[in-house]
Amino acid sequence: MLLADADSAWRELAREWKLSPADGEPCTALRREQVHCFSRDMSLALIRQLGRPGIVTLDAQGGKPSYAVLTALTADSVTLRAGGSEQTVTLPALAARWRGEFSTLWRAPTGYSDRIAERDGGPALDWLAAQLATLDGTVPPVGRQALDAALKSRVLAFQLAQGLPADGRPGPMTFMQLNRVAGIDEPRLQTAP
């Protein structure tokens, strides 16, 4: 049984996070808990790299899409959950119905807004700089940080190392990967058969 609307799919994914968004639009409700929705066309390789469950949109080319939560991804199959039931399908079976539409949730650092621009500062950027310094084995910076050339260079290096699209700008996928390597408690995509 697949889900007939996107809001139901977001609610199903939120259960993976042990969250229950209030009535209304789920992504708006989840933001109150510093959990953000993210949607983008992706390859299975990038989904595997991000390592998190998410919503796949199926049959969109037919005009009436349906949805399921991708909970596991192996070398030759995926496991989809919808309406409380799970089904494992082969990658060719998925490819016949899916064109890359993927949506997921991620936990944002305190102070995160939708876009961090040049010279922006604040707690989210301070957290970003501290996490990158920890990963580099250097002393975390003190004081308010800015998205200057040095920090953009460190973000770019992290993006490249993580197999992300690299532009030096910290967006949702950069924060998702930082959360993953920093050990932030978020659901993980199952990858073992």
pLDDT of 137 reads 87
What is the Cα–Cα distance from 88 to 100, expressed in whole angstroms?
18
pLDDT at 118: 61
Q: What are phi and psi of 74, to 5 degrees?
A: -110, -175
Give me the tens of pLDDT residue by residue for the chain, a chain 193 residues long: 799 999 999 999 999 999 988 788 999 999 988 999 999 999 999 999 999 999 999 998 877 899 999 999 999 999 999 998 999 999 999 999 999 999 999 999 888 877 776 666 788 899 999 999 998 888 888 888 888 888 999 999 999 999 998 999 899 999 999 999 888 889 999 987 6
Predicted local distance difference test score (pLDDT) of residue 145? 85
Spans of all domains in the chain: 6-107, 123-170
pLDDT at 119: 62
Which CATH number does 6-107 carry?
Answer: 3.90.70.10
Sign of CA dihedral 43, 117, 187, 27: negative
Q: Given this model, what pLDDT does residue 22 score?
A: 79
* Cβ atoms of 140 and 133 closer than 8 Å: yes
